[in-house]
Amino acid sequence: MAETHPDDGSPTAPPPSAGAAVPDGSARADRDGATREAANHAAQTAPASREDARQDAEAAIDVGSWNRFIPSLTRWLQTGREDVVPAVRLAAAVPIVTTETAPRERSGPGPLRLLRRRHRLPPSPLPPMLAAQSRLDGVKLTAPLRDDAGRALLGEDALAALAALGWRRREGAMMQSALGAESAARLAARVLIEVFDVAHPADLAIAVEHAVPPAA
């Protein structure tokens, strides 16, 4: 029979039987500490896991030779899905623009811009960069013309070489499109060798990512 409280007659919990475990503050503290430790571990390992995944993807592009670089880049550009598309940035080791080869451009806005004298852009101390991104209709290749400070990444000789290969200038970059991943990889390798003066793919700085596909 349940016991009642002596003051108001409400039922009271029966006393614990002999040998039963009685929860105390230390047990709750242990559980709370374990929960916090697990949460901290997850927070610390999640960025590392993302970084490991990025490094694994970059390692998937074989830089042992150009003959190995091209098929491995082809495979990477074929790893897209409907919601994400593969992209890669390939930077040369050294800059290729000098004060003598920097392109000439007219400065200043407004209708009088075409009347102003052309002057050479300052050369960028950064190496040129080639980006490739898979799309539904093929692969888009992009070589930016300037760095963030407005300095030239590509000289007149590089611009002429890209134009001879069928590249077109638009939106602050030289651009080319390829129908498939393999042809894009071969185009990229040719530009890196012939235009950016990259002697060996191991000299490249490579960054890969999966990006959201552009809107149709």
Compute the distance between CA of residue 191 and CA of residue 60 in angstroms, rounded to an integer.
21
Compute the distance between CA of residue 89 and CA of residue 132 in angstroms, rounded to an integer.
7
pLDDT band at 55 (very low <50, low <70, confident <90, very high): low
pLDDT single digits (tens) 137-195: 889 999 999 999 999 999 999 999 999 999 999 889 999 999 999 999 999 999 999 99
Compute the distance between CA of residue 207 and CA of residue 54 in angstroms, rounded to an integer.
8
List alpha helices for the chain, DSSP H: 25-59, 66-77, 156-164, 181-194
Residue 22, exposed/middle/buried by CB under 10 A (0-12, 13-18, 19+)? exposed
pLDDT band at 203 (very low <50, low <70, confident <90, very high): very high
Size (the chain), residues: 216
Mean pLDDT, residues 27-40: 48
Percent of all residues in the chain with a pLDDT value above 90, rounded to a whole number: 51
Per-residue pLDDT, 136: 80
DSSP state of 168: E
pTM, rounded to two decimals: 0.68
The lowest-confidence range among 4-18, 171-185, 198-212 is: 4-18
Whole-number Cα distances in Å, 19 to 12, 15, 16, 22, 31: 20, 12, 8, 9, 22
Percent of all residues in the chain with a pLDDT value above 70, rounded to a whole number: 62
Q: What is the CA radius of gyration of the chain?
A: 31
pLDDT band at 135 (very low <50, low <70, confident <90, very high): confident
Compute the distance between CA of residue 24 and CA of residue 123 in angstroms, rounded to an integer.
71
Residue 23 has pLDDT above 60, yes or no: no
Residues contacting 175, CB < 8 A, separation 6+? 140, 141, 142, 143, 167, 168, 169
